[in-house]
Chains A and B, each alone.
Chain A
Amino acid sequence: MREAVHISRAPAPGPGLQELLVQVARGDQDAFTQVYDQVSGPVLGLVRSVLRDPAQSEEVAQEVLVEVWRTAPRYQPSRGSAMNWVLTLAHHRAVDRVRSAEAAAAREHRAALLDRTPDFDEVSEQVESRLEREQVRRCLRTLSELQRESVTLAYYRGLTYREVGELLSVPLGTIKTRMRDGLIRLRDCLGVSA
């Protein structure tokens, strides 16, 4: 039997995200609708992991998605994938928001941050996102504890390396290095580099 599995089959083979974003840059609203359908889940999930508050997350996710529309002409395919561009934007916005909110009210629950692991276990019927999640989780396990904490506290919680260093009582130089070598190990495990 030579039966193959096709899990990533879209309903009809349509244009890829990158191509769609190029169309969006020319003002194509239909293309944007398709972009929305591809990126809104990752955008909302990422924003929510940083901000925690559901209502605020939805608000920021909306801002990010509108910004994707507005700034699509800036996207340069040669500099990276469309999803990377969108998620980088989303992460920036979420982090900006969490930092401005916390500048006003000093951060109270520092210790609690350590307990809050990202929502990897959120139930998902979608095989593809489950696969992605499992692969990332598996690769995170290959990091040392300090690498993993440095990377996830910064990415999922929006902390600066200084805040991570204070939180973990680790010298700042070490934190910077762990962020770098942790991400490098993750990159290699996920097969990101060409």
Chain B
Amino acid sequence: MSTAELHTLTGAYALHALPEEERLAFERHLGACEACTQEVRELSATAARLGLAVSAVPPPGLRERVLREIATVRQEAPPHSTSERSGVAPGRAGRWSSYALAACLAAAAAFGGVAVWQNQVAQDARQEALQARQQNEQLARVLAAPDARTSSGELEGGARGTVVVSRSANRAVFLASDMARPPGGKVYQLWFNDDGSMRSAGLMDPSATDDTVLLDGPVDGASGMGITVEPAGGSEEPTTQPVALMDFPDA
């Protein structure tokens, strides 16, 4: 197979759709082709999203069986090499973070609502659950809107933000992963960027480093969003320099 043909196999490889022999040939090519290596990383992460989308609820017995089994299974020794295999480009920091976002959503799904609510007074929990459900439905509508557009950006300290905007719903959702906690007594406040003037769009949960927030209020003419650190409870207008500014994706 020619090299030009090999370059087109990234998709089939990421889907595990190559017969054994071609897979081995392509893996040899990967060792020498940085472009394909990079593309395979991204397409594998994309394929894994297809996997996350069919997540199931495991039967309770499985957990017990697996935990019992691992107690008797010896782990492999760590690989000796301290560096990446030659020819494979090391990943840039943060490259996978938008994927990690999906992972953390799945993680939250796995923890489930039960544990969250357990720690709360029943009455409050019902109130909050109701409110959260309504907001979640709105949030889901934004993400599922046919015109939903996504853009991602790196924030300070390796954190990553993704914003999803639906012009038809006139709402936006911000998803953060690996954000540093705000300093004590402070919160992250979100803002719509209306042509340089900032309009409050709500607060992020100060205890969460990964958070998904339905921005408070309509998108209207906003061209992007910003995040600032504000005193607990938030401010009327930004009182500090933004820690992040992101443009909304084009409609």
Contacts and interface: CB of A to CB of B under 8 A. Distances in A.
Interface of A: 1-11, 13, 16-18, 25, 27, 29, 32-33, 36-42, 44-46, 48-49, 58, 61-62, 65-66, 69-74, 76, 78-84, 87-88, 90-92, 95, 118-120, 122, 124-138, 141, 151-152, 154-156, 158-162, 164, 175-184, 186-187, 189-194
B216 A4 contact: yes
Contacts of B132: 5-7
User: Which of B74, B96, B119, B136 is most buried by chain A, counting CB atoms within 10 A of its CB?
Assistant: B96
Interface string B74-107: 1111110000100010111011111110111111
B52 A4 contact: no
Contact of B102 (A65, A83, A175): A83
Given A8-B105, A78-B90, A80-B45, 14 more contacts: A4-B205, A11-B116, A32-B67, A40-B62, A45-B55, A48-B56, A65-B62, A66-B66, A87-B51, A118-B54, A130-B140, A134-B140, A177-B11, A180-B12
Contacts of B9: 176, 180
Contacts of A162: 19
27 contacts: A3-B135, A6-B132, A6-B213, A9-B207, A10-B116, A13-B209, A33-B67, A37-B110, A40-B66, A46-B54, A49-B54, A70-B75, A80-B41, A81-B45, A83-B102, A84-B44, A88-B47, A132-B109, A133-B54, A133-B55, A136-B53, A156-B54, A160-B19, A161-B18, A176-B8, A189-B150, A190-B49
B121 interface: no
B111 to A, nearest CB: 5
Contacts of A91: 16, 47-48, 51
A11 B12 contact: no
A152 B9 CA distance: 16
Interface of B: 8-12, 14-19, 41-59, 62-63, 65-67, 69-71, 73-79, 84, 88, 90-92, 94-100, 102-113, 115-116, 118-119, 131-132, 135-136, 139-140, 143-146, 148, 150-152, 154, 162, 175, 178, 189-190, 200, 202-205, 207-214, 216, 234
Contact of A136 (B49, B58, B99, B139): B49
Contact of A194 (B65, B95, B140, B208): B95
Contacts of B203: 2, 4
B92 A155 contact: no
Chain A contact surface mostly: helix
A8 B212 contact: yes
Contacts of B205: 4, 6, 9
A70 B56 CA distance: 23
A88 B74 CA distance: 22
Contacts of A65: 62, 66
Contacts of A190: 46, 49, 102, 150
Given A84-B44, A95-B16, A156-B50, A37 B97 contact: no
Contacts of A191: 98, 150-152, 162
A38 to B, nearest CB: 4
A132 B216 contact: no
A190 B72 CA distance: 40
Contacts of A39: 106, 110
A78 B143 CA distance: 29
